Structure 1
Amino acid sequence: MVGKRSGKALLREEGLERTDNNMDLTTWPPVNMINQKNYYTEYLKRDDQILPLRILQEERRNRMTATAKDRDRALAQASLNEAPQSGVDMDIDDDVGMEDAGEPLTGQDALGSKVIVIHPGSQNLRIGLASDALPKTVPMVIARKCNMSESEENGSEPSPKRLKRENGAQLDPEKMFGEEFTTQYSKMCADLKIHMRANKRRVLPNSKELIVNYNKRAPPETISEHNDPLRIDWTEIPIDPAQAPDYFTGKEALRIPDLSNPRYKLYWPLRCGWYNESDYREKKDLYEDIAMIIEEAIKTQLNLKRKRDWAQYGCVFIVPDLYERNYVTQALEMLMRDLGFGKVCFIQESLAATFGAGYTVACVVDVGAQKTSICCVEEGMCIENSRINLKYGGADVTETFIKMMLHDHFPYEDINLKRRYDFLLAEELKTRFCTMNEGDISPQLFDFHLRASGQDTRKYTFKTYDEVLLAPQGYFQPTIFDNSRKLKGRRKLIDRSYDIYEGGPNDPVSSAQSAVISLISPIISTGTQLNGDSANGQTASAPPKQSASLLQKANEPERTPISAVGTPAPDDDDTPAPVGEANAATNVLASSMRDDVLPVISLDTAIVTSIAHGARGSEHQTRNFLMSVMVIGGGAQIPGFCSFLEEKLKELRPGYAKDIIIGIPPRELDPQGVIWKGGSVFGKLRGTNDSWIGRMEYDRLGARVLVYKCMWAW
């Protein structure tokens, strides 16, 4: 090996001279190649490397420090006085320091007065402070200036829609809703008579004719306004149209006269638990209306006028069990940016219901105005594969009840649910007269008062027979509902959420919901693509003839249990077969088909399907869920509903007939507000609630923070 040669030798022998100074080309340390056979990294594998988790650790450390300081201060003060002072606890609980995070326990802060609980629905918004006993209920509607009201649109077409003759004349009441409705309504009437006779109940042979003849010749009685003690105070509109407000929200919007000057049109931003995309042209207008309704409710109902003070408040926002990711992320942005809350957390509806009612294991059946959700909850967690979301509710019962009454010559034949006073009247009639007790079915005489702006009050008398029971019975025969417009405008403005890595839809799905969709449209179970007529509302909303056998098998799950995709499993024994989690292909298929098929099946079949998927084949779990079916929501507040549902479930699951119990929330809680009550309980938890999203976390991470903050798998 040749030794190192000097510069002079190089210059003399080879004509080269070294001119460098033996310094390295760079001061950066050299990076060695990674050993491909064995290498390891700790990136995002420790809690202190994740911002939300690091903030939680810092908060716990600060609480411990504050607790230690309080303890030392109390001991020092006690030693100076040579005895403990009254009201000073020598054994300060560590949980007290954990609860307050350095904030004082005195005052109203410890009672949840700095937490606002919001539960939006398709028809009503329930809002209030966590310290309140009951929520404030506000209609989820906003009225904006428009050229015409909603009752004047589409040629003043009424709701429910009536058929007309070719010359434009109105058909007879028995034919105004089409042959299909008349046939199904007549069949329901005949089945009810058979059932009542089987139960030894008296049935008059000419009951229907009696009420029809009475309603035909029942003229209204006119009452002058000054003689009406219950007259309505309508929303006042300034005489000068230029001074009229741009919008009204809540009850004020529903009390605007239909023929006001200027005209106002009602907008319901949520329909059937979805965004109401059919009534909007821009999605920003849809988002603004939701924020405006909540903002006005906070100002008027909670008396928090100054918006800049809302940064001192936290917000508990209640979301559906089977939600859409875009809905949750948009709600987070609205609460943080538009409303300016200091911190936000989310909780699912069924979990909140168990919080409010004090249940540990339950099958929660929430019958709302336009959607019905079913979910099994166990030990503080929603079982993902048991979640079912059906697109019908109390509003469908109201419309069907009016159609049945009109079919039987209802004296107020001009009723139009698009008119505001008629809409409120129809809701009142359903609440007062509908029942599911067969013992109440007989020809009965009732009356109601029609109050319209600028008109004298009219008093109507009418008779009812079986309409009061058959309308709510639509929960178990949903084909009687009008489901033709529920998918109108779906995905017109807001697309579904997609995974940024795999590209497929990533909205949450459940095997129970997939089974429901397969029962409605067996085409999906074979993987065949649908024709995609959802934009025109021309999709399957009722089970076709081909799925009749599947529905029959779903009604007998002990012998033929339903699998994850809705096909009957082999009946090796009499116990339900274990239902595993749906595979990735089924999840993607169910998510993509959710917009093409309207989930509408019988309520009892849906409950049995949810429990079958939630119990995972365990007989013990099946019994636990059937023993704790909790019915909540305003749509189920019909006399006799729970007993009727219990009979239906016993018919479907005769092997568990002794175990089936339909319950309501205890402690005399209002079933309509039990979800909100659970949200208020959740909002007052401190120390154990790590789901709060702060402003700094949201500013840095955005919606990605939901991965670490949601109580469920985001």
Structure 2
Amino acid sequence: MAFNQDYLKTVVPSQLLAERGSNLVVINPGSANIRIGRAQQDSPLNIPHCIARRTSQVPKRNVQDQMLNSQVTTAQHMERERAYDIIASLLKIPFLDEEVPNSSYPRKMGRVDAYPPQNNKKEIPFTWTEVFENTPPPPPSSGGDNSITNGETSEPPITKENNNTMELSSGERKYKEYICGEDALRISPNEPYCLRRPIRRGHLNISQHYSMQQVLEDLQTIWDWILTEKLNIPQHLRHMYAAILVVPETFDNREIKEMISIVLRDLQFSLTVVHQEGLAAIFGNGLPTACIVNMGAQVTSVICVEDGVALPSTLISLRYGGEDISRCLLWTQRHHQTWPPIRTDAFTKPVDLLTLNKLKESYCMIREGEVEAVAQVHSYEDGMVPGSHKSRLTALNVPPMGLFYPTLLVPDVYPPPPRSWFNDYDDMLEDTWHMDFPGTGAFPMWESYPIFQSKPKREDNIGLAEAIAKSILSTARIDLQRKLFCSMQLIGGVALTDGLIPAVEERVLHAIPSHEAIDTVEVLQSRTNPAFVSWKGGAVLGILDFTRDGWISREDWIRSGIDTRIRRKYKDSYYLQAHTMAYINS
């Protein structure tokens, strides 16, 4: 896998990706979704990062990996209402409990047929996942309205009649032991499965209800399933492949080490290397210096990169993202009584969160004035045909403004695990000393691994504009600050929100203190899908990293972990060889 440097000076990156990308797999794990694919692909698979395992627990817990207490405190409720009214004033819409003047219809009871649909896309309901093994393919649906367009085989919705048939014959049929990806989110609540999400809010989702061993087993199972079933790379062929791990900046060293072990020891890749999302993003868009604003489903992070080197002191992590906007959409509609009278629970019914995400992506935007739309809202009761409710959704420009006023989102519904899980080196290693490895017996993997100091991380409950300004201004160099303020890049799924770019530019400019000599800000358009920029950059880095200093072989990792005597360690991609950066810009 070595490269000839003279050849690299003449070949274009797209040609390199085509030639060398077939045996490189890029893995970009996120809290809610994982982006994964061969480096030669134009775009990765984007799969919900979750697994549902069969359970015999009574009473059955629908989800194992989150706190089910989703009640909002009185203080949070008051702060949320205040944030709503501030946003309403900015957007020039009625306040939270204000009725539309000069109208015979109160705002909460507006006529549904008075508002045209916002788009022409027909809302198609999700269907319950088949949970039995060796099930013959379902007959084609005649109406075409009851299939899910997720690139997989369509299934008719489970009706009461055919559900009863399944129950009668279930004694002769075998449940699947686990179900991964979106199928795991579409399992009927009355089936014997418990949903797990191994990563939550940018960290391994370890808690008293979800042990480290379970988290790591679930990660390995999900990734193995994707590689085998989606990428057609069975385990016995993986020695021919290398893996590029593109990890969020929120991950700690211990978490990265565990993922390296999954890739090399469990999934049996021959080589792996680690890069961070912020740095990979500049390679994905081909810009050496930028302020990377990464807006995912559960975490938003800001970090500055100068000439191919990420600046760790500028990193700010914010505990909110796209899923919080989706839940805020539900709260807004319920307050205005525009949500149909159905049981929607984004915490214990994953299919309801899927529904809210879909509505958010289709209808939410940022712009002044009232933004309303007629949409089909689907309800999912246990084992029944999805219900369809034509509803007038209102104040659709309010939820995404929660990025700038996070008290609107009430994001801290998932308490983070104790920091001792990540900071206490001895405690964290306690269960590692007894791990078994094929042919080697128990081996202390980390015995020779140096203890790296945690990189500076800040988690602030501040708005996005303040976080961007704070991150850039922390560089303390006016020339760099001016360059960064004019080179902001919005990446992640939330970056696709209509109207977000001008909103960021306007609010960042206002967030800069008046004594700072900055008068211009600009968000640069992404050259590729913002949701996949870091994954694409990871593919480019894997091809261009011809020095191979950061690559770790499976044999070295299993035999001795990291041997500091030969100066081999996983690549801390805050620092990158200058000649690699120069090549990407040539």
Residue aligning to 2:221: 292
Instruction: Assess, with a 3 A threshold, how the Cα gap between structure 1 residues 190 and 713 changes in structure 2: closer, same or farther.
Output: closer
* Cα offsets for 1:54-85 (capped at 9, x unmatched): xxxxx98xx8xxxxxxxxxxxxxxxxxxxxxx
Partner Cα separation in structure 1 for residue 104 and residue 533 of structure 2:
39
Stretches of structure 1 that go unaligned for 5 or more consecutive residues are 1-58, 64-92, 101-105, 162-176, 515-597
Residue aligning to 1:138: 47
Which of residues 390, 400, 419 is equivalent to 2:328? 400
Residue aligning to 1:448: 377
* Cα offsets for 1:94-142 (capped at 9, x unmatched): 6349999xxxxx9998331001100001110110001111101111001
Give TM-score, length-normalised by structure 1.
0.63
Query: Are the aligned partners of 2:62 and 2:195 in contact in 1 as well (CA < 8 Å)?
Result: no
Residue aligning to 1:479: 407
Instruction: Assess, with a 3 A threshold, how the Cα gap between structure 1 residues 699 and 442 changes in structure 2: closer, same or farther.
Output: closer
Q: CA deviation at 1:286?
A: 1.2
Residue aligning to 2:101: 205
1:117 aligns with 2:47: no
What amino acid is the match of 2:79?
Q
Match runs of 1:98-497 below 5 Å: 110-146=19-55, 147=57, 149-151=60-62, 161=71, 179-196=74-91, 204-205=100-101, 210-214=106-110, 229-232=145-148, 233=155, 239-240=170-171, 243-260=174-191, 263-278=192-207, 280-305=209-234, 307-409=235-337, 410-417=339-346, 418-439=348-369, 441-450=370-379, 454-466=383-395, 468-491=396-419, 496-497=424-425
Comparing 245-254 and 231-240, the one that deviates more: 231-240
Query: Are the aligned partners of 2:488 and 2:524 in contact in 1 as well (CA < 8 Å)?
Result: yes
Query: Are the aligned partners of 2:265 and 2:558 in contact in 1 as well (CA < 8 Å)?
Result: no
Query: Are the aligned partners of 1:149 and 1:258 in contact in 2 as well (CA < 8 Å)?
Result: no
Look at both structures and tell me which one has the larger radius of gyration over its CA atoms: 1
What amino acid is the match of 2:357?
E
* Cα offsets for 1:502-538 (capped at 9, x unmatched): xx9854232xx45xxxxxxxxxxxxxxxxxxxxxxxx
What amino acid is the match of 2:461?
V
Instruction: Assess, with a 3 A threshold, how the Cα gap between structure 1 residues 130 and 623 changes in structure 2: closer, same or farther.
Output: same
Partner Cα separation in structure 2 for residue 646 and residue 97 of structure 1:
38
Decide which structure has greater helix share.
Answer: 1
Partner Cα separation in structure 1 for residue 233 and residue 562 of structure 2:
27
Instruction: Assess, with a 3 A threshold, how the Cα gap between structure 1 residues 99 and 125 changes in structure 2: closer, same or farther.
Output: farther
Residue aligning to 2:117: none
Q: CA deviation at 1:296?
A: 0.4
How high is the sequence identity, in percent, across the aligned residues? Answer: 24
* Cα offsets for 1:524-555 (capped at 9, x unmatched): xxxxxxxxxxxxxxxxxxxxxxxxxxxxxxxx
Instruction: Assess, with a 3 A threshold, how the Cα gap between structure 1 residues 301 and 443 changes in structure 2: closer, same or farther.
Output: closer
Partner Cα separation in structure 2 for residue 330 and residue 400 of structure 1:
34
Q: CA deviation at 1:600?
A: 2.3
Partner Cα separation in structure 1 for residue 390 and residue 323 of structure 2:
24
Residue aligning to 1:16: none
Query: Are the aligned partners of 2:105 and 2:111 in contact in 1 as well (CA < 8 Å)?
Result: no
Which of residues 490, 513, 517 is equivalent to 1:631? 490
Residue aligning to 2:442: none
Partner Cα separation in structure 1 for residue 543 and residue 420 of structure 2:
39
Q: CA deviation at 1:149?
A: 5.0
Instruction: Assess, with a 3 A threshold, how the Cα gap between structure 1 residues 186 and 483 changes in structure 2: closer, same or farther.
Output: closer
Query: Are the aligned partners of 2:326 and 2:353 in contact in 1 as well (CA < 8 Å)?
Result: no
SS at match of 2:90: helix
Partner Cα separation in structure 2 for residue 94 and residue 119 of structure 1:
28
SS at match of 1:112: helix
What amino acid is the match of 1:627?
C
1:694 aligns with 2:553: yes
* Cα offsets for 1:132-188 (capped at 9, x unmatched): 11101111001111235544899xx98854xxxxxxxxxxxxxxx564455334434
Instruction: Assess, with a 3 A threshold, how the Cα gap between structure 1 residues 279 and 419 changes in structure 2: closer, same or farther.
Output: farther
What amino acid is the match of 1:184?
E
Instruction: Assess, with a 3 A threshold, how the Cα gap between structure 1 residues 186 and 242 changes in structure 2: closer, same or farther.
Output: same
1:509 aligns with 2:471: no
Partner Cα separation in structure 2 for residue 216 and residue 185 of structure 1:
27
Residue aligning to 1:682: 541
* Cα offsets for 1:273-303 (capped at 9, x unmatched): 1111137443212111101111101111111
* Cα offsets for 1:679-701 (capped at 9, x unmatched): 11111225344321123432454
Comparing 134-143 and 230-239, the one that deviates more: 230-239
What amino acid is the match of 1:283?
M
Give the superposed CA RMSD.
3.9
Residue aligning to 2:470: 609
Q: CA deviation at 1:258?
A: 1.4
Instruction: Assess, with a 3 A threshold, how the Cα gap between structure 1 residues 338 and 241 changes in structure 2: closer, same or farther.
Output: farther
Q: CA deviation at 1:429?
A: 1.4
SS at match of 2:561: helix
Residue aligning to 2:138: none
Q: CA deviation at 1:215?
A: 8.5
1:672 aligns with 2:583: no
Instruction: Assess, with a 3 A threshold, how the Cα gap between structure 1 residues 314 and 227 changes in structure 2: closer, same or farther.
Output: closer
Q: CA deviation at 1:242?
A: 7.0
Partner Cα separation in structure 2 for residue 121 and residue 610 of structure 1:
22
Partner Cα separation in structure 2 for residue 153 and residue 190 of structure 1:
36
Residue aligning to 1:586: none
Instruction: Assess, with a 3 A threshold, how the Cα gap between structure 1 residues 700 and 421 changes in structure 2: closer, same or farther.
Output: closer
Q: CA deviation at 1:190?
A: 3.5
Q: CA deviation at 1:430?
A: 1.2
1:95 aligns with 2:11: no
Instruction: Assess, with a 3 A threshold, how the Cα gap between structure 1 residues 391 and 123 changes in structure 2: closer, same or farther.
Output: same
Instruction: Assess, with a 3 A threshold, how the Cα gap between structure 1 residues 123 and 619 changes in structure 2: closer, same or farther.
Output: same
* Cα offsets for 1:402-430 (capped at 9, x unmatched): 11211222223421112132121111111
Partner Cα separation in structure 2 for residue 712 and residue 397 of structure 1:
31
Query: Are the aligned partners of 1:257 and 1:453 in contact in 2 as well (CA < 8 Å)?
Result: yes
Query: Are the aligned partners of 1:431 and 1:638 in contact in 2 as well (CA < 8 Å)?
Result: yes
Give TM-score, length-normalised by structure 2.
0.76
Q: CA deviation at 1:247?
A: 0.8
SS at match of 1:414: coil
Q: CA deviation at 1:623?
A: 0.3
SS at match of 1:138: strand
Query: Are the aligned partners of 2:293 and 2:488 in contact in 1 as well (CA < 8 Å)?
Result: yes
Which of residues 632, 646, 650 is equivalent to 2:509? 650
Stretches of structure 2 that go unaligned for 5 or more consecutive residues are 94-98, 115-124, 126-140, 149-154, 429-445, 576-586
Query: Are the aligned partners of 1:326 and 1:496 in contact in 2 as well (CA < 8 Å)?
Result: no
Aligned length: 500
Instruction: Assess, with a 3 A threshold, how the Cα gap between structure 1 residues 489 and 620 changes in structure 2: closer, same or farther.
Output: closer
* Cα offsets for 1:165-216 (capped at 9, x unmatched): xxxxxxxxxxxx5644553344344434533459xxxx94378973312499
Partner Cα separation in structure 2 for residue 391 and residue 208 of structure 1:
42
Instruction: Assess, with a 3 A threshold, how the Cα gap between structure 1 residues 208 and 339 changes in structure 2: closer, same or farther.
Output: farther
